[in-house]
Amino acid sequence: MLAAGAIGAVAFWALSAPRLLDEEIIASLGEGSADDGERIFWAGGCASCHARPGAEGAARLELAGGLELVTSFGTFTAPNISQDARDGIGSWSAADFANAMMRGVAPDGSHLYPSFPYTSYARMRPADIGDLYAFLKTLPAVSGEAQEHDLAFPFNIRRGLGLWKQLYLSDQPVIALPPDAPDDVVLGRHLVEGPGHCGECHTPRGFIGGPENDRWLSGAVAAEKGEGVVPNITPGGRVVGTWSEADIANYLETGFTPEFDSVGGSMVDVQQNMARLRPEDRQAIAAYLKTISPHADGFAGTPSSQE
Q: Calculate what percentage of the chain has a pLDDT beyond 70.
A: 93
| pLDDT tens figures, 262-298 | 998 889 999 999 999 999 999 999 999 999 999 999 8
Q: Calculate what percentage of the chain has a pLDDT beyond 90.
A: 78
Q: Are the C-beta atoms of residues 116 and 77 closer than 8 Å to each other?
A: no
Residue 133, CB-side half-sphere exposure with 13 Å CA sphere: 25
* Neighbouring residues of 10: CB distance < 8 A, sequence distance ≥ 6: none
- State yes or no: pLDDT of 196 exceeds 50: yes
| pLDDT tens figures, 97-138 | 999 999 999 999 999 999 999 999 999 999 999 999 999 999
pLDDT band at 302 (very low <50, low <70, confident <90, very high): very low
Report which residue type is found at 188: G
- Strand pairing category for 150-151 and 74-77: antiparallel
- State yes or no: pLDDT of 305 exceeds 60: no
d(CA 187, CA 183) in angstroms, rounded, equals: 6
pLDDT band at 30 (very low <50, low <70, confident <90, very high): very high
pLDDT band at 9 (very low <50, low <70, confident <90, very high): low
What confidence score (pLDDT) does residue 104 get? 97
- State yes or no: pLDDT of 225 exceeds 90: no
d(CA 217, CA 234) in angstroms, rounded, equals: 6
Which region among 9-13, 28-32, 81-85, 212-216 has the lowest average model confidence (pLDDT)?
9-13
d(CA 76, CA 129) in angstroms, rounded, equals: 24
- Domain range list for the chain: 17-168, 183-291
Q: Which phi and psi angles does 105 have, rounded to 5°?
A: -125, 130
d(CA 274, CA 167) in angstroms, rounded, equals: 30
